[in-house]
Chains A and B, each alone.
Chain A
């Protein structure tokens, strides 16, 4: 799910940046530092929408660098355990398939795929029903539920399931998508 949240960060700036453009430098530096990053607490930081320096900086003794507390608004993508979301399948193989929801990669193991869908690699690798009515292959849009997440320092990946009611391949409905 995408969120718009307020985050805080302490920026460390070299004295050579002091001057009329200090604020611009601060903003630029912040964008460089945080956009595109990911951490377990806030998820993927997609874009910073507003930067708001808080008060004046504080010179650190010894180095001359100045600490600026900054608060900023950011658009983040943060997955949650139990969340249901739509994904695009990127790769299918015997053990299951990978799908992407924006920056998040989700793996769905074949244990979490309904039993009536079987792996077939005669043409493009896919999971399909006996009749061929349902077929999950590369580029298929699926709705899945996140059952677990792996969080490390720079990335989040998830384990998903489609073995539940109203999950699996997305079909165009009467409302038209």
Chain B
């Protein structure tokens, strides 16, 4: 019963993630690849056979297919760019992973941004305007292009 309730309250569009995920560290697909490969090597270095679970295989395959950034450095750069904009973790990864090309597209896939009513830590209104988002998306597109 409790589970049904919590599911109803969940809404990623409004950043209602519930429970431990509200402040959790989200990952870009390109970062996922790094972590999973590290995990794979860990076992191999100990001379143990690594038998990946189906979940592991599918996740790695998925992350590679939709990685968007050709290397970890590019992903880190994109994340830095996104972090500078007072965005929530979840928004950072939605934009970082889907790479929308316009502010309208960004807003359509993640309704929580930009929200003029949202306040930052000091209580100031959210400074992120539509132009800022366009600029941000262009910056990310540049990062992707130069790391190809």
Contact = CB atoms under 8 A, between A and B. Distances in A.
Given A4-B25, A36-B55, A82-B12, A102 B63 contact: yes
Contacts, number: 134
A75 B29 CA distance: 12
Nearest to B38: A49
Given A4-B35, A36-B56, A149 B25 contact: no
Interface in A12-52: 35-38, 40-42, 44-49
Contacts of B54: 36, 103
B101 to A, nearest CB: 6
Interface residues of A, number: 47
A46 B36 contact: yes
Given A2-B26, A165-B108, A176-B145, A82 B63 contact: no
Interface in A53-78: 75, 77-78
Nearest to B68: A177
B140 to A, nearest CB: 9
15 contacts: A1-B90, A3-B26, A5-B20, A35-B56, A36-B53, A46-B59, A47-B56, A49-B38, A102-B61, A103-B58, A141-B65, A143-B98, A145-B109, A175-B144, A176-B145
